[in-house]
Amino acid sequence: MRKTTTVKHREPLIHIAKRDDMAAWQAWLIRLAAILIGFFVMSAVLTALASTSSGKDLSFGDILERLSRSVFGRLFEGKFSQLWKFLQETAVLLCLSLAVTPAFKMKFWNCGAEGQALFGGLAAMFCMINLGGKVPEPVLVPLVILASIIGGAVWGVIPAIFHAYYRTNETLFTLMMNYVATQIVAYYVYANGQGSNVINPVSTGALPVIGGQQYLLNVLIVTLLTVLTYVYLRFSKQGYEVSVVGESQNTARYIGINVKKVIIRTMIISGALCGIAGMLLVAGKDHSINTATVGGQGFTAIMVSWLGQFNPYIIAAMAALVSFLQIGAAGAADAYFLNSAYADVMVGVVVLCLVACEFFIRYTVKFRHSKKGGALA
Amino acid sequence: MAQKAAIELKNITKAFGSVVANKDVCLTVNKGEILSILGENGSGKTTLMNMIAGIYFPDEGQIFIDGEEVVIASPKDAFDYKIGMIHQHFKLVDIFTATENIVLGLEDGKFDLKNAEKQVHDICEKYGFEVDPKKKIYTMSVSEKQTVEIIKVLYRGADILILDEPTAVLTPQETQRLFDVLRRMRDDGKAIIIITHKLHEVLSLSDKVAVLRKGEYVGTVNTAETNEAQLTEMMVGKKVELNIHRSEPKDAVPRLEVHHIDCSNREGVKVLDDVSFIANAGEILGVAGIAGSGQRELLEAIAGLQRLDSGAVLYNNPKTGNMENLTTKTPLQIRELGVRLSFVPEDRLGMGLVGNMDIVDNMMLRSYRRGKSVFLERKGPKDLAEHIIEELEVVTPSASTPVRRLSGGNVQKVLVGREIAASPTVLMAAYPVRGLDINSSYTIYNLLNEQKERGVAVIFVGEDLDVLLELCDRIMVIGSGRITGVVDARTATKEQIGLLMTKTEALTWEGGEDRA
Amino acid sequence: MIGTIIRYLSSSIPLGVPLLYGSTGEIVTEKSGHLNLGIPGIMYVGSISGVIGAFLYEQACGNRLANMNPALAILIPLLSCIIGSVLMGLIYSFLTVTLRVNQNVTGLALTTFGVGLGNFFGGSLAKLVDSELPNIILTNTSSFYDVSLPFAAKLGWFGEIFLSHDFLTYLAIAVAILTSLVLNRTRMGLNLRAVGENPATADAAGINVTRYKYLATCIGSAIAGLGGLQYVMVYADGVWSNNAFGDRGWMAIALVIFALWKPTMAIIGSFLFGMLCNLNNYMPQFGVPLGTDTQELFNMLPYVVTILVLIITSMRKKREHQPPQSLGLPYFREER
């Protein structure tokens, strides 16, 4: 039985089509709009919440001022300590984001930056504690750096080897490695902590302070790494191989690239950069270690790298944006007796807005005019 | 009228971005009738059928079923109108059984797989299909999968059947069996639409033929009143006189020798069985065969991309006069031996080129390793890209346009141009003109001829026998992974090659089916 | 010794329950082809939504146990938990199904958002009641949740291990078994699996792919959210502390791999993980004294076991043990 007479269908009202032709500046305008929407909406929510909790009648401007003061401090009064903290946070986040970028470009979803950084940091800590005083400082500092690079690389290469040979799911493998690293650090902290779960700061083997600023060297190192990563990905033969493997493994094999080798090599680099980030935290900032040393920035870095379209310079801007939100929103929430976890909420919303806006960059939405009449002709 | 239109399309138009896939297409199919839709690759046949099946939605135009206008917005709507489509790429879930696939998406009645299995079994009995209802799809052969697709449509009681190039993957015997089934369904009063570009199938099976050319509707003719020449003319717009230039081979010396190679695919099925041949320098060796008979594996085996079970690939180096053994070598090792082997693979954007990279970066694919520097040298590739764009008339906004944005013909020019720029001694090309317009096809033929005249050993895998016969010097026919014959292209006939293409099949033919 | 083993087994079960909810929810979602890395965040939101519901109800009853209606004390947090989790699921499915954006990034952002939301509300509620610590204490509500079966005590070791638990534990097992039945024995399950394996095929078969993806994600989120609720109401005895839920969400995702995408396997896996997590507490009682440092190493076991399972299944390559084929890929019908 044919049901022609009983079935009534509507024409789809909205029609979605892929687009390929949007100019880069248009795309960035959309992304900027998304950031601003997320930022202003969440700031407005914060204004309302802060007004309630503090019992004051706060304006939107008050919140913005708080936000920026939390990040930049009192610059005009010549106080830069707050700014340096912001730069340090940005540097570490940027370093982690740069680290995962070559892997992502290769379509290897390295979700293990957290663990790789932690393990690199642990290696640095180990050298600082065990070699401190036994080896002269000018030798020890390079050793600390080397140890962190090796530590991070080892943690990154283990999933890569299994992925290369057995196609073991790398997202889940690297994710699990984070927690293995966390537990090893927890073990180390208890085993070496002075009667508690805290390792007292160790000054031997720490990165030297230059220019009178504790974080200046960290910032310089990461700036250099940003340029190096850009050059590596854009101009080196290895970087080219990373792109080819990421785009099509068939093509890579066709032109004689050893895909396994590239996967393993790239993850060594990715892990090593994470290790450096861990070192910056341990030897360049805390001089100690605990399970929260990386503090989830390894996961944030995944978002930052993706938002930055795997371009190191854009990633740098995104890292600055995210750490601005993290520090600013936490500071502003704290100032008005709210929980500083508001920062995570705000970062989450802004990132979700940015992610969502990709739709408008890659697709067009057309509304169809319904054709009335004539249908029964 | 004795016959009634089962489905009628009026002025259907569909565009993808700026590409118009169908323009003002009109079609009518009656009950108890088989309509062939004929057209070259890329003429919009599949897009048109997808609109009837609810996969795409037309931008303009009307569809009538039993004389009433309908809107088919989704595949579900198509089912409601009893339209069933068998796609060229099977729509089956690999880890499901045949029955699970057949009942997928059905909503009426109780969910009872046991009962469904029995019904599937009954349909198999009725039409003589041999399929185990409990067999999982990923363990099936191509023809078994197609059978599952047909049973699926029959199970749903479709009155209008659409088949998209159903014979492309079948042996002649399987094709005959399929046609018998289709004729039986026609006699049941079903309307059948079959997409194909094989003329003899059109003439032997269908009642009417509709022809599309570059998305436009050319016309419909009754099969009884037409012939191959007329249909071809409608299809390509002018009479086919290929007139491909062909010179006599000079100093044809053996360049590449393939000795008794065997090769298995991932599932352990033999795809190349004791293949031996010699490709001469200064000659075009054609490879003919039904799609999927081992052509791809053969070329990939030579290029070092397939592991061989046994046998050897030898290369006669013109510079040193040495015989190099290429067996078990990787593509890189082959190149390091000084063997200049160029390969235009079938999968252009998935293997030969990187779609998201621009033309310049694609030029580097073969040559980026040159030099000791750790950095890339982009000057040479840029010059090469510009040279190819100019020489082969590649239509592109610039050399820094990602190749995925180019049209099929231009993509192929970029790929062939790059492979030839490496001044090869062996050039292998798999279906290099598939999906290309006539002009681009001729550009490719000329390039191949040029290479031949320069003393390159050219291996050309093709599907169009007319082209093979006019372009090549010798034609090697491959059937089910075996070489079934090598003929002189200047004297051979189409029938002769057609026979060789199916030769191995004849040995294992399960007879017993008489066809009218 | 036997007594210790019984206590060990019995106390391991509540540890496994949040993982079972989380992994069952994630399995349902992954069967539709969506790798939802937002599950950890969703479990936080489920947990805090339940806490907010319970908090408001307790406030309304003047914080007195006697004033509370047992049915409402259970239903209000339960419903708020489900609403909160489903809203999170809706965000995820809107972004990844309708807007087709990257699933990994969406998931991670959702986790950041969800964990932040949990801690923000947790911390803010604590401030509302002038608590020194960022804790919210809902022992009253918890007392309604943490009720074991009445005849458990009479059945000796069997009763203690298997029957002495709260209803959310049995619900978790029931949900997992039901999920397994739906996936394998019903038309809906067949359709859902088809969507996750090959959406184009499902679409061509007339299945509403978008609807299935939305439904699977939202139902999966609701199930996962219950894990957060069980944690705070039963395991933590009604005490919300910021970040206390920890990394259980990630462990639930790991469990999906361990269970090879089978909810029934997830039941076994979650209690095995519970036992592994619990092992360090009981090692001294088993006669193996452990320092605090070595305990931390023991906490690593569930992750190491997951990695081993991941490696072994990828080496064996059995078709039935692989993730849904289109996992992580967006579907666009007019893709050419």
Q: What share of chain A is helix, strand, coil (3-state, %, to 5)?
A: 70, 5, 25
From the list A16, A109, A173, the residue facing C307 with the nearest CB is: A173
Whether the Cβ atoms of residue C187 and residue B112 lie closer than 8 Å to each other: no
- Domain contains C8: yes
The total domain count for chain C is 1
Cβ of C129 under 8 Å from any chain A Cβ?
no
- Chosen for mutation from B91, B110, B138 (greatest number of chain C CBs closer than 10 Å) is B91
B361 CB neighbours in chain A (<8 A) are: 240, 243
- Taking an 8 Å cut-off on Cβ atoms, the answer to whether A236 and B332 are in contact is no
Whether the Cβ atoms of residue A102 and residue A260 lie closer than 8 Å to each other: no
Eight-class DSSP state of B358:
B
CA distance A180 to A162: 17
* B-C C-beta contacts closer than 8 Å: 71
- Looking at this predicted complex, what is its ipTM? 0.89
CA distance C211 to B104: 16
B355 CB neighbours in chain A (<8 A) are: 247-248
CA distance B335 to B170: 37
List Cβ neighbours of B255 (8 Å cut-off, separation of 6 or more): B279, B280, B281, B315, B316, B318, B425, B426, B457
Minimal C-alpha gap between B146 and chain A (Å): 26
Among B46, B12, B171, B87, smallest CA distance to B435 is for B46
B75 CB neighbours in chain A (<8 A) are: none
Cβ of A363 under 8 Å from any chain B Cβ?
no
Minimal C-alpha gap between C237 and chain B (Å): 44
Q: Hey, what amino acid is at B103?
A: V
Among C52, C220, C208, smallest CA distance to C141 is for C52
List Cβ neighbours of C27 (8 Å cut-off, separation of 6 or more): C179, C220, C256, C259, C261, C262, C263, C266
Q: Hey, what amino acid is at B177?
A: R
List Cβ neighbours of A109 (8 Å cut-off, separation of 6 or more): A103, A170, A171, A174, C104
Minimal C-alpha gap between A101 and chain B (Å): 17
- Taking an 8 Å cut-off on Cβ atoms, the answer to whether C116 and A17 are in contact is no
CA distance A359 to A365: 10
Among B138, B498, A278, B41, smallest CA distance to C320 is for B138
A341 CB neighbours in chain C (<8 A) are: 115-120, 122-123, 242
Which three-class secondary structure state does DSSP give residue B166? coil
Using CA of residue A110, residue A113, residue A117, residue A122, what is the dihedral sign? Answer: negative
From the list C112, C114, C253, the residue facing A300 with the nearest CB is: C112
- Domain contains C328: no
- What the block records as the tokens of A190 is 């208890």
From the list B69, B77, B82, the residue facing A2 with the nearest CB is: B82
- Taking an 8 Å cut-off on Cβ atoms, the answer to whether C297 and A345 are in contact is no
In the stretch 131-150 of chain C, residues with CB closer than 8 A to chain A read 134
- What the block records as the tokens of C68 is 């509370």
User: What pLDDT is recorded for position B509?
Assistant: 32
CA distance A119 to C331: 38
Q: Hey, what amino acid is at B489?
A: A
Using CA of residue C272, residue C274, residue C275, residue C279, what is the dihedral sign? Answer: positive
Tens digit of pLDDT for each residue in C102-145?
898 899 999 999 999 999 998 888 877 777 776 888 888 888 88
- What the block records as the tokens of A377 is 């002709």
Q: Considering the domain A14-367 in this protein, what is its CATH number?
A: 1.10.3470
- What the block records as the tokens of A285 is 């900032």
% of chain C with per-residue pLDDT over 70: 98
C311: domain CATH number is 1.10.3470
The pairing of beta strand B457-461 with beta strand B283-288: parallel
Whether the Cβ atoms of residue C109 and residue C196 lie closer than 8 Å to each other: no
- What the block records as the tokens of A67 is 């936000």
Among A228, A232, A235, A123, smallest CA distance to A184 is for A123
Structural domain spans, chain A = 14-367
Q: Hey, what amino acid is at A332?
A: A
- What the block records as the tokens of A224 is 């250099």
Q: At A154, give phi and psi (nearest 5°).
A: -60, -45
Cβ of A162 under 8 Å from any chain C Cβ?
yes
Among B24, B30, B80, B22, smallest CA distance to B51 is for B22
- Domain contains C86: yes
Tens digit of pLDDT for each residue in B128-155?
778 888 899 988 877 788 889 988 888 8
Cβ of A111 under 8 Å from any chain C Cβ?
yes
CA distance C95 to C101: 6
User: What pLDDT is recorded for position C115?
Assistant: 94
User: What pLDDT is recorded for position B454?
Assistant: 92
Dihedral Cα A40, A43, A45, A47, nearest 10 deg: -130
CA distance A246 to B137: 30
A237 CB neighbours in chain B (<8 A) are: 368-369, 373-376
Tens digit of pLDDT for each residue in C305-329?
889 988 988 888 777 777 888 888 8
Minimal C-alpha gap between B247 and chain C (Å): 40
CA distance A356 to A363: 12
Strand order in the sheet with B474-479: B341-344, B426-430, B457-461, B283-288, B474-479, B482-488
- Taking an 8 Å cut-off on Cβ atoms, the answer to whether A247 and B354 are in contact is yes
Most confident of A171-180, B62-71, C6-15, C24-33: C24-33
From the list C111, C295, C314, the residue facing A167 with the nearest CB is: C314
Whether the Cβ atoms of residue B419 and residue B427 lie closer than 8 Å to each other: yes
Helix (H) or strand (E) holding A342: helix A342-362
CA distance C336 to C333: 9
Cβ-in-10-Å burial (0-12, 13-18, 19+) of C48 comes to buried
User: What pLDDT is recorded for position B240?
Assistant: 52
% of chain B with per-residue pLDDT over 70: 91
B148 CB neighbours in chain C (<8 A) are: none
> Which subunits have 3 or more CB–CB pairs within 8 Å of chain B?
A, C
Whether the Cβ atoms of residue A353 and residue A93 lie closer than 8 Å to each other: no
How far CA B433 is from CA of B41, B170, B298, in Å, comes to: 10, 22, 19
From the list B57, B366, B376, the residue facing A255 with the nearest CB is: B366
* A-B C-beta contacts closer than 8 Å: 101
CA distance A282 to A128: 10
Q: Please name the residue ranges forming H helices in B248-378.
A: 295-302, 331-336, 359-367
Minimal C-alpha gap between A167 and chain C (Å): 7
How far CA B170 is from CA of B26, B142, B185, B480, in Å, comes to: 30, 8, 19, 11
Separation of CA B490 from chain center:
25
Using CA of residue C266, residue C37, residue C48, residue C212, what is the dihedral sign? Answer: negative
Helix (H) or strand (E) holding B262: strand B254-264
- Domain contains C326: no
Q: Please give the domain boundaries of chain B with CATH numbers for all domains.
A: 5-236 (3.40.50.300), 254-340+423-504 (3.40.50.300), 353-422 (no CATH)
Dihedral Cα B412, B414, B415, B419, nearest 10 deg: 130
- Taking an 8 Å cut-off on Cβ atoms, the answer to whether A344 and C100 are in contact is no
Beta bridge pairs of residue B163: B86, B194
- What the block records as the tokens of B377 is 């040298």
From the list B332, B361, B375, the residue facing A256 with the nearest CB is: B332
- Taking an 8 Å cut-off on Cβ atoms, the answer to whether A109 and C104 are in contact is yes
- Chosen for mutation from B20, B104, B140 (greatest number of chain C CBs closer than 10 Å) is B104
- Domain contains C334: no
- Chosen for mutation from A18, A30, A172, A199 (greatest number of chain C CBs closer than 10 Å) is A172
Which parts of chain A sit beneath pLDDT 50?
Answer: 1-9, 370-377
CA distance B283 to B272: 24
CA distance B493 to B469: 8
B375 CB neighbours in chain A (<8 A) are: 235-237
Among B456, B368, B378, smallest CA distance to B416 is for B456
Cβ of A76 under 8 Å from any chain C Cβ?
no
The pairing of beta strand B474-479 with beta strand B283-288: parallel
Phi-psi region of B214 (alpha: psi -120 to 50; beta: other; left: phi over 0): left
Structural domain for C200, as ranges: 2-321
- Domain contains C49: yes
- Name the one residue in this structure whose structure tokens are 């089962």: B6
B69 CB neighbours in chain A (<8 A) are: 375-377
Cα B27-B32-B37 angle, rounded to 5 deg: 35
- Taking an 8 Å cut-off on Cβ atoms, the answer to whether B352 and A5 are in contact is no
Cβ of A261 under 8 Å from any chain B Cβ?
no
C112 CB neighbours in chain A (<8 A) are: 296, 299-300, 303, 344, 347-348, 351
In B, minimum Cα distance to A233 occurs at B375
Helix (H) or strand (E) holding B310: strand B310-316
SS3 sequence of A280-336: HHHHHHHCCCCCCCCCCHHHHHHHHHHHCCCCHHHHHHHHHHHHHHHHHHHHHHHHC
Minimal C-alpha gap between A170 and chain B (Å): 23
A103 CB neighbours in chain C (<8 A) are: none
In C, minimum Cα distance to A167 occurs at C314
CA distance A298 to A294: 7
Using CA of residue A227, residue A228, residue A232, residue A236, what is the dihedral sign? Answer: positive
> Which subunits have 3 or more CB–CB pairs within 8 Å of chain C?
A, B
Minimal C-alpha gap between A168 and chain C (Å): 5
CA distance C300 to B425: 58
- Taking an 8 Å cut-off on Cβ atoms, the answer to whether A240 and B345 are in contact is no
User: What pLDDT is recorded for position C88?
Assistant: 97
Minimal C-alpha gap between B425 and chain A (Å): 17
- Taking an 8 Å cut-off on Cβ atoms, the answer to whether B104 and C194 are in contact is yes
- Taking an 8 Å cut-off on Cβ atoms, the answer to whether C100 and A338 are in contact is no
Q: How far is the first Cα of chain B from the last one, in angstroms, to the nearest whole number?
A: 28
A355 CB neighbours in chain C (<8 A) are: 95, 101-102, 105-106, 109
Minimal C-alpha gap between A21 and chain B (Å): 9
pTM of the model: 0.85
**Section C40-51 average pLDDT:** 96
